[in-house]
A and B are shown apart, each in its own frame.
Chain A
Amino acid sequence: MLETVLGLYNYWIVIILMMAGFYTVIARGNLAKKVIGLNIFQTSMFLMYITMGAVESGTAPIVAEGATLYTNPLPSVLILTAIVVGVATTALGLALAVRIREAYGTLEEDDLRVLEDRQDTLRDTAATQDGEQPVSP
């Protein structure tokens, strides 16, 4: 029992972190906070890969005298590139948030929805007015 708990502890923490990120993305209305939630989710995924690659009493995958058991280098490679790609995509998300704030003056999802609805109705009424204008003269 204890062995199972210790053997799976890392995965369970990974899932808790993943769900924490997931919760932030779906329950929080602030776009910046959502990006941070995605970051938590992402980090949990990194941890999961690295956990899978670890070997009991293994050493870092750099050839050394006297070392025979190495951890798996493949997850390291995948995650190493994923971290840098992750920050680049996070920057893209944050840039979108900045542009949204400049255009709408808010980052809250609820406000954005209200503003979008209002713009849509205004545009619709404007479009109908435009359609009538050529008729009147």
Chain B
Amino acid sequence: MEQIIDIVLLAFMVVTAIAMIRLRNLFAVVMLSGIFSLLSAAMFVVLDAVDVAFTEAAVGAGISTVLMLGTLALTFRDERPATRADWPAMLVVTVTGAALIYGTLDMPRFGDPDAPIHQHVAPRYIVDSPREVGPPNMVTSVLASYRGYDTLGETTVIFTAGIGVMVLLGSVTRRRRRARPTTPATPAAPAPPEGRP
């Protein structure tokens, strides 16, 4: 049963992804990307990664959809039809994909308990974390305690990205630019095609 759900959900994801590539209306693409995130969240539940599913549902289907809609409000709703031939890209993608699929033939089969990934540190986390750290949720123990350095780094990345967005779009930059007189910095610089403030 789980296998059937797995197959169906993944097939849905492929269909959604292809629809996202083919559609030119970016509004529809963003809506589909929300669906795509939700499908992957369901997929994570099927694969027993509940914490990840939770995060994906909140972040992928919630915040990134809203952010992309915000971007569309500031840019354009439609993508221009392609002007150049896309067969070179198709060729590159097909060759890369074929090579990667050839590579998967050596991968351990799905759900195999003897796969190398389950042999190294995972038994330590599963067996010892309730005794060494305490919380019943192993993901929390690994996230905050065993791999605390990692998480500190990730939090710093989020902080940095947030600062970057604030610098790029923030009101500080705008106010300074508006206060300056409208004469361009270099007289020779060409006027932009439309609408620089």
Contacts and interface: CB of A to CB of B under 8 A. Distances in A.
Indicate if A touches B (C-beta under 8 A): yes
B143 A77 contact: yes
A9 B33 contact: no
Interface of A: 3-4, 6-13, 15-24, 26-30, 32-33, 35-37, 39-40, 43, 46-47, 50-64, 69-92, 94-99, 101-108, 110, 115, 118-119, 122-123, 125-127, 129-130
A23 B190 CA distance: 34
A100 B113 CA distance: 49
A123 B185 CA distance: 13
A36 B68 contact: yes
26 contacts: A7-B110, A13-B11, A19-B97, A20-B21, A27-B89, A29-B80, A33-B29, A46-B44, A46-B52, A53-B47, A53-B49, A56-B113, A61-B126, A70-B126, A74-B125, A74-B142, A76-B49, A76-B52, A79-B52, A81-B143, A84-B154, A85-B158, A102-B196, A119-B189, A123-B186, A126-B187
A88 B26 contact: no
B47 A98 contact: no
A122 B71 CA distance: 31
B153 to A, nearest CB: 9
A43 B139 contact: no
Main secondary structure of the interface of A (DSSP, over half): helix
B75 A19 contact: no
B29 A88 contact: no
Nearest to B142: A77
B93 interface: yes
Contact of A73 (B93, B142, B154, B190): B142
B157 interface: yes
Contact of B13 (A13, A57, A91, A125): A13
A36 B150 CA distance: 26
Nearest to B162: A88
Nearest to B159: A88
Given A58-B48, A105-B194, A29 B97 contact: no
Nearest to B136: A63
Contact of A107 (B40, B75, B93): B75
B5 interface: no
A32 B72 contact: yes
Minimum-distance CB pairs A-B, first 5: A126-B188, A7-B109, A56-B111, A88-B161, A27-B89
Contact of B47 (A22, A51, A129, A130): A51
B71 A98 contact: yes
B133 to A, nearest CB: 11
Given A50-B52, A77-B142, A83-B59, A95 B169 contact: yes
A88 B17 contact: no
A33 B82 CA distance: 12
